[in-house]
Amino acid sequence: MGGESTTRTAPRGGGTSDVPVGSRAGQRLSGLAVALGLVLFLGGFVWGAIVYRPYTVPTGSMTPTIDAGDRVLAQRVDGGEVRRGDVVVFKDATWADAPMVKRVVAVGGDTVSCCQDGKLKVNGKEIDEPYLPAGTAAEISDFPTVTVPEGRLFLLGDERGTSLDSTAHLSDAAAGTVARTAVDARVDAVVWPLGGMLERPSGFEALGALSSPGPLRTVVALVIAGVVLILGGAAYGPVAKRAGAARNRARTEPAGAR
Residue numbers annotated as active site: 61, 102
Detail the DSSP E strand segments found in 137-256. 143-147, 152-156, 178-179, 183-192, 194-197
CA distance 140 to 101: 20
DSSP state of 157: -
Q: Whose CA is closest to 112, among 197, 176, 158, 52?
A: 176
Q: Which of 103, 107, 208, 192 lies closest to 156, judged by CA?
A: 103
CA neighbor of 75 nearest in space, from 221, 217, 223: 217
Using only the alpha carbons of the chain, give its radius of gyration: 31
Amino acid at 3: G
Geometric angle at alpha carbon 99, from 93 and 105, rounded to 5°: 90
Helix (H) or strand (E) holding 101, with range, is strand 100-107
CA distance 44 to 108: 36
Q: Are 99 and 107 in contact, with CB atoms under 8 Å apart?
A: no
